[in-house]
Amino acid sequence: MRTTPLQQVKKLHGSKEKLAATVAGYFSPAEGESAEDFQSRLLRVANAKLLRLARVGAAIKELGGRDAVIAAVAELAGLTKDKDFLSKLKSYADPRLLEMHTSLSRKAKVKAKAKAS
């Protein structure tokens, strides 16, 4: 039987408060919002979404941070010198950047494999 998001939260993080604190560490509050308000807003978010945000934040951190992911996406797309593209990437949310990185990485591996054979 599949575990519910609440069961996953309790198993992986102990409580929703600890999970929200972890997610708050990965992301910064919106402009004009205090850290306490951001934390309290996260406590009202669904468990499944908090778990997904924690996975995204950990993956972004593992790749070297938001700026490193933006640079990697631009390099994989072959648009490192395009200032408009870079500024557009900076406006994207972290989950979208991570998805772009994953997609472009897969395409690069397929191209490299096809080129080698």
- Where are the chain's structural domains? 1-62, 64-117
Mean pLDDT, rounded, for 87-112: 93
Mean pLDDT, rounded, for 105-113: 89
In this model, does residue 60 exceed pLDDT 90? yes
Q: Is 63 helix (H, G, I), strand (E, B) or coil?
A: coil
The model's confidence at residue 114, banded by pLDDT at 50, 70 and 90, is confident
CA distance 2 to 17: 23
pTM, full prediction = 0.83
Please give the pLDDT value at position 7: 93
